[in-house]
């Protein structure tokens, strides 16, 4: 007898597009209508993202992650913002084809690029379309928080500034709490290391959140380090084109796989689940097969949504994921990549 999937939760939801907003010549926002029965599943935190299934004639599923630019505190519906990228299949398809009334298959919101508290001073760094999750954090902090928010926003030129009008309105409404600084390559050139470091030094004690092109993020991260900002106060968001299929159905675990399985205690949402963990399976595979609503998005080690802590025991994880060595040394692992090394393991999400 096989170890069949136990009441596996349905993670894929088909959402109707209720509005399409042209933000700039190459960026648009999609607002989704969430049915009442899925409202709890689509509750989200500022800075998180959705994974969309892009219609395609390709044999494999095309899935892409797009950050939520809306705020859960004031916006009645979730909104993602998509900017065209050169040769980007997903972004170009959405910008060219999606209209009001169309439907899209979507996975629930996930992501760790979100403040633990909105009652802290925030130093937000955005480059280009990296403003999308940063905007969600900024609006949420002004709405539900009490402290100051500073945004350093780099763009190619004035026409490339997404949410330009909205940022002007917010700055006028919150003159004592919000500071917006624009860096336009067409006028000021690319931000130099000295410029970024000097800017970071003006805001000691602030919590930094960074999103944008890889060179921009690397420059800001280096500037914050040069300014003496502790690593634990620096948060980055990184997206890559997904190579796996996060929409794939879970595969049942066969009895033959359980002969040499490890035992794992998984703490998820305050509840501990005792599971058999076959050594050839990832933790995400095993949790899905047991009907647990594990947080994940890409299932390929490319997004960090399933990051968890190894509390006891040890796991193996292939190199090349989004975790750096400091994260791994601190006990973090990716559930979509991890396989058991020891006979017993304890994991906390």
| Interval 112-155: pLDDT, tens | 899 999 999 999 999 999 999 999 999 999 999 999 999 999 99
- pLDDT at residue 240, as a whole number: 61
For the chain, what percentages of helix, strand and coil (3-state, to nearest 5) are there?
A: 25, 30, 45
- pLDDT at residue 248, as a whole number: 73
| Interval 270-284: pLDDT, tens | 899 999 999 989 999
The share of the chain scoring above pLDDT 70, in percent, equals 93
With a CB cutoff of 8 Å and minimum separation 6, the contacts of 160 are 24, 26, 128
- pLDDT at residue 111, as a whole number: 87
Cα 289 from Cα 2, distance rounded (Å): 12
* Better pLDDT: 269 or 211: 211
Residue 64: exposure state from Cβ atoms within 10 A (0-12, 13-18, ≥19): buried
Asked if residues 44 and 113 have their Cβ atoms less than 8 Å apart, the reply is no
Cα 292 from Cα 288, distance rounded (Å): 5
Q: What is the mean pLDDT of residues 26-41?
A: 95
Helices within the chain (DSSP H only): 89-97, 131-144, 164-173, 185-188, 193-201, 214-226, 283-289, 325-329
| Interval 238-257: pLDDT, tens | 766 565 677 776 667 676 77
Domains of the chain from N-terminus onward: 13-109 (2.40.30.10), 122-237 (3.40.50.80), 255-348 (3.10.20.30)
Residue 348: exposure state from Cβ atoms within 10 A (0-12, 13-18, ≥19): middle
Q: How confident is the model at residue 298 (pLDDT cuts 50, 70, 90)?
A: confident
- pLDDT at residue 245, as a whole number: 72
Q: How confident is the model at residue 6 (pLDDT cuts 50, 70, 90)?
A: very low
- pLDDT at residue 8, as a whole number: 41
- pLDDT at residue 5, as a whole number: 35
| Interval 78-120: pLDDT, tens | 999 999 988 888 999 999 999 999 999 999 998 889 999 999 9
Q: Is the pTM of this model over 0.85?
A: no
Q: Directed axis angle between helix 193-201 and helix 214-226, to 10°?
A: 50
- pLDDT at residue 250, as a whole number: 66
pLDDT beyond 80 at 34: yes
Q: Which of 234, 215, 222, 232 is nearest to 197 (CA)?
A: 222
Mean of per-residue pLDDT scores for the chain: 90
| Interval 194-251: pLDDT, tens | 999 999 999 999 999 999 999 999 999 999 999 999 999 999 997 665 656 777 766 6
């Amino acid at each position: 007898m096989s170890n069949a999937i136990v009441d596996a939760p349905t993670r894929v939801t088909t959402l109707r597009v209720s509005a399409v907003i042209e933000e700039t010549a190459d960026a648009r926002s999609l607002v989704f209508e969430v049915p009442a029965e899925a409202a709890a599943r689509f509750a989200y935190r500022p800075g998180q993202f959705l994974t969309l299934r892009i219609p395609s004639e390709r044999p494999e599923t095309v899935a892409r992650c797009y950050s939520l630019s809306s705020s859960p505190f004031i916006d009645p519906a979730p909104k993602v913002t998509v900017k065209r990228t050169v040769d980007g299949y997903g972004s170009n398809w959405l910008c060219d084809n999606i209209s009001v009334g169309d439907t899209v298959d979507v996975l629930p919101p996930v992501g760790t690029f979100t403040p633990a508290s909105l009652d802290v001073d925030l130093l937000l760094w955005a480059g280009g379309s990296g403003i999308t999750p940063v905007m969600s954090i900024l609006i949420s902090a002004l709405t539900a928080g009490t402290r100051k928010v500073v945004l350093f926003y780099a763009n190619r030129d004035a026409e490339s500034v997404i949410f330009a009008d909205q940022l002007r309105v917010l700055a006028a409404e919150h003159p004592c709490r919000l500071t917006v600084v624009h860096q336009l390559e067409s006028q000021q050139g690319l931000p130099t290391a000295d410029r970024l470091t000097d800017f970071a030094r003006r805001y000691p004690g602030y919590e930094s959140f960074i999103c944008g092109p890889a060179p921009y993020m690397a420059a800001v991260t280096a500037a914050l380090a040069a300014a003496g900002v502790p690593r634990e106060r620096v948060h980055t968001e990184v997206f890559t084109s997904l190579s796996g299929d996060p929409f794939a159905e879970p595969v049942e675990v066969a009895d033959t796989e359980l002969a040499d399985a490890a035992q794992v205690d998984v703490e998820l949402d305050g509840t501990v689940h005792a599971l058999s963990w076959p050594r050839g399976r990832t933790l995400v595979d095993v949790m899905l097969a047991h009907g647990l609503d594990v947080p994940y998005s890409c299932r390929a080690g490319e997004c960090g949504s399933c990051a968890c802590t190894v509390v006891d025991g040890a796991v193996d994880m292939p190199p090349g994921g989004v975790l750096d060595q400091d994260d791994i040394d601190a006990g973090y692992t990716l559930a979509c990549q991890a396989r058991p090394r020891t006979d017993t393991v304890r994991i906390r999400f």
